A = this chain, B = another copy of it.
Amino acid sequence: MKATIITIGDELLIGQVVDTNSAWLAAELTKLGFSMENHVSISDTGEKISGALDRFLPENDLLVFTGGLGPTNDDITKKVLADYFCSELIFSEQILGDVETRIRSFGSTMNELNREQAMVPKDAKILRNNHGTAPGMWFEKNGKVIISLPGVPSEMKGIFNDIIKDDLGNFFSLPQIIYKTIMVSGIAEAHLAEKLSDWEAALPEGVSLAYLPSPEAIRLRLGAKGGAKADPSTCIDQQINSLQQIIPEYIYGYDNESLESVIGRMITERGTYLACAESCTGGSIAQKITAIPGCSAWFRGGVTAYSNEIKAKVLGVSPAALETYGAVSEQTITEMVRGAQRVFQTDYAVATSGIAGPTGGSPDKPVGTVWIAAAGPDFLVTKKYNFGKNRASNIRRSTSAAFSLLRKAMLEN
């Protein structure tokens, strides 16, 4: 079954806003078993929208539109689709009730524009929106489906998950595909690919592998199609077992779990706390941890020590270490991580100190040189890294390396 996603909006077309809806929808539709044909972004005019229908409907089984459903002028998608499918707009008491409830929950009052949102195409299935005011629409024509959703990502995702996912599965006869994502960290992609080449070459037919690298982790996505011969989940489970034998130390989780969540679980299981002392990561470690709901149960806090005085005064790093070896050294990072444990009274801590750039490098410590330490009640590990020249990337890579080093040390101790 072929699908095309069409996002509507001048703000996308002229590059004011990055279109994230297409990638999200494409990933969902691919998981359901659709074959993606195109993503297209167009302007919010009647001509462009009906032009896209003319162009893409013949060669697709499913078109998903997002955008152009707001209560203002850009309410054009609904009218254009209703015209295209020769369906008049009728008043829906139910949708009016939905819109009223929503507007009231914002502490606002209905106006004429909101009332018009209750006018819906007679021949469409109306997709109620529990996440905003504009309902979605589902048209059918010659065995094809045309869906229109709001452009606001939370509303689009909400309606998709609430209604569309199941309805598409019921309407189309889609191949059964199962996906499982293995989260890998602490190894470069090229080295990972080398370690996995024999295993990858031996993957049975119908099992696909995708490498999805990100600054934080490499995600390995295994997919298996259902068929007469084998149950796809059994098939995936077997491959994960093999992977576990080849790269046990690098697999830290599954299905988009973050490394910091895994660390949170490990610290919680040990009934204890974590703290951090950051120099080059400048608060990124704390920020990633505190993005996790409930982290106060296992995270006490951290210090961003952006000067030698603060490393000495707040974390108790000795003048000897700073003067003799410098802020970016094994001696200093060791005292920083011990300082974090002491100040925050925690069993576990991580610390970073490095030259993020663009300036501050020297011949023996070029930009990208980073020392990281992880400490527990009965271990202390330190490691030197040589990242690149880009400040933002050095900060991201140091943050991720700190979590990786801590996890590895906790597993071994």
Contacts and interface: CB of A to CB of B under 8 A. Distances in A.
A19 B16 contact: no
Nearest to A399: B287
A306 B310 contact: no
A79 interface: no
A386 to B, nearest CB: 11
A182 interface: no
B314 A306 contact: no
A222 interface: no
A22 interface: yes
Task: Determine chain A's interface SS by DSSP, over half rule.
Answer: mixed
B301 A307 contact: yes
Interface string A19-59: 11011111111100000111111110000000000010000
B294 A283 contact: no
A395 interface: yes
B293 A359 contact: yes
Nearest to A302: B304
Given A15-B26, A287-B287, A290-B306, 18 more contacts: A12-B26, A13-B36, A14-B26, A16-B27, A18-B23, A37-B43, A39-B40, A278-B283, A282-B295, A283-B284, A283-B290, A290-B304, A290-B395, A293-B359, A300-B306, A302-B304, A309-B345, A313-B343
Query: Which 6 pairs, one residue from A and one from B, show the smallest C-beta to C-beta distance?
Result: A282-B290, A283-B286, A15-B26, A15-B27, A283-B283, A283-B287
